């Protein structure tokens, strides 16, 4: 099945292509009008993007919305992750706001919501989260899910779902987890 992805991010196109290929889905891109993300949840914003793309193209469409929610910041940046601070300053802004926050209060989770909208009106949705805590410095490059890791700074190992494993970008981990929910 061919499916349009509602994104201009080439890394997301590659990632979704790779994780959906085993399901027989071929991801395609299209010149799409940018959908307004007026939802108050990741799930709502993913739906708005997928629905807008489906309406525009008349084809099945998939979209995601994702971001970081930090406990000590009352859930911010949350659905405003992409607009939380100027590009290139988002992670540093979070770290500055957490500068005097002790390790045991640096809890956070990364959420990824995925939505598929079909021309016949069918909708498939899934949402996944990875929990962890925010390290004291940036690691890696890219957005919140690539650089700020769910890192337990006391032990120096990532902790996800109660398991110890080598740190890896949360965005990719959550999208894989969400795809599994999507399959079932």
Q: Which residues are catalytic?
A: 65
d(CA 61, CA 177): 20
Q: Which tokens go with 166?
A: 């080598």
- Peptide bond before 77: cis, by omega within 30 degrees of 0? yes
Nearest CA to 129 out of 71, 90, 48 is that of: 71
Do 184 and 125 contact (CB within 8 A), yes or no?
no
What kind and span of H or E run contains 178?
helix 170-183
CA dihedral 170, 176, 179, 181 (to 10 degrees): -80
Give phi and psi for 178, each to the nearest 5: -65, -40
């Amino acid at each position: 099945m061919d499916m349009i992805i509602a994104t201009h991010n080439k890394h997301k196109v590659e990632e979704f292509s790779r994780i959906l290929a085993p399901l027989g889905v071929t991801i395609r891109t299209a010149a799409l009008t940018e959908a307004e993300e007026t939802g108050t949840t990741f799930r709502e914003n993913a739906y708005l993007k997928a629905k807008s793309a489906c309406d525009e193209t008349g084809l099945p469409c998939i979209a995601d919305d994702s971001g970081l929610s930090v406990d000590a910041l009352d859930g911010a940046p949350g659905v405003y992750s992409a607009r939380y601070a100027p590009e290139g300053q988002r992670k540093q802004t979070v770290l500055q706001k957490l500068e005097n926050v002790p390790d045991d209060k640096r809890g956070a989770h990364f959420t990824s919501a995925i939505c598929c909208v079909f021309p016949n009106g069918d909708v498939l949705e899934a949402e996944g989260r990875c929990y962890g805590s925010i390290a004291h410095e940036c690691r890696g490059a890219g957005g919140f899910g690539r650089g700020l890791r769910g890192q337990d700074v006391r032990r120096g190992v990532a902790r996800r779902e109660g398991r110890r494993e080598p740190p890896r970008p949360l965005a990719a981990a959550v999208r894989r987890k969400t795809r599994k929910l999507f399959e079932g």
